Homo-oligomer: A and B are copies of this chain.
């Protein structure tokens, strides 16, 4: 079994903590460790470090390597530029095909929250066994906590088989993020699960699916595979990435393929897609306030707010439902329900060419 951790993306929504050089997975916003570090720690009980691969971008590779010194240098696969998840997964698969074509590859996001790590590992192990049974891609359907509009949904189809007491079902359909009405309907109807962004399958199964549904991408991958492992390989990879069209694995493969199975995951999951989503998973005091990142916090009549201030005393008087994030050079004050709009602040910074804050 191999773990492939996708550590790309920019994470503008965690500005001002996230910056171009410090995307979300490199931040210690959930715990004292970075999210990436926690992700690797979580998987190493079932995958040894020499089988953990990190796919990351050229601009973050140095920092990512620094945070994971126990991984072999060659296990960091560096994309010249971000092309969404399908090319990222393809790059990992084509790399692994050279050494273990029938190996099981578990593709994991680097920046999610998981409350119950034991249950997570148990479910992954079951998914791994399911993947071994044949030419299927296994995904984890998260038991939905409510009609979230921020997640994609998996529709559970007929049962295929049972492993270690867990039923493995066919995935009848993959839905993009729904609007509020549709989300309400999916939850009322039942049989829909959040798409956790985790994919498990044989290396060959991943590549067969890409070859079928994304043949252009597959051609680029094969070009990279046959390049000799030296400086010329870099040139080949750069050239391929210049032509690769960005596409997500969900949209490019999952929505089309009919060999997708799912195992139910119920381990306290969040993709932590915003400061408010982070607030939801953090522990709170009796007034619903979460003091993250250390620092002194004084409260008078303030409730249901997230304060992330590693260095400074913060006093709140009579406020509620706020996100307060203090960094050395920038301060964010945001209504919790508007925390998706933090990315618009990053756009404003770009428009105003305030590069030092990006």
Contact = CB atoms under 8 A, between A and B. Distances in A.
Please give the count of copies of this chain that the complex contains.
2
Contacts of A333: 302, 314-317, 319, 322, 324, 333
Contact of A331 (B301, B309, B337): B309
Contact of A335 (B315, B318, B329, B352): B318
Interface string A116-148: 000000000000000000000000000000000
Given A298-B345, A313-B354, A348-B298, A319 B334 contact: yes
Contacts of A330: 312-315
A349 B333 CA distance: 23
B329 A312 contact: yes
Contacts of A324: 331, 333
Given A331-B326, A331-B331, A349-B298, A341 B313 contact: no
A245 interface: no
Contacts of A318: 334-335, 337-338, 341
A357 interface: yes
A329 B313 contact: yes
Interface in A271-304: 296, 298, 300-302
Given A314-B333, A322-B333, A341 B298 contact: no
A197 to B, nearest CB: 26
A345 B317 contact: yes
Contacts of A314: 330-333
Contacts of A317: 332-335, 338-339, 341-342, 344-345
A329 B296 CA distance: 10
A240 B342 CA distance: 60
Contacts of A348: 298, 300, 315
30 contacts: A15-B315, A16-B315, A298-B345, A298-B349, A300-B341, A300-B348, A302-B333, A312-B331, A313-B331, A314-B330, A314-B331, A314-B332, A314-B333, A315-B330, A315-B333, A315-B345, A316-B334, A317-B332, A317-B333, A317-B334, A317-B335, A317-B342, A317-B344, A317-B345, A318-B334, A318-B341, A319-B335, A322-B333, A324-B333, A331-B331
Interface of A: 15-16, 296, 298, 300-302, 309, 312-319, 322, 324, 326, 329-335, 337-339, 341-342, 344-345, 348-349, 352, 354, 357
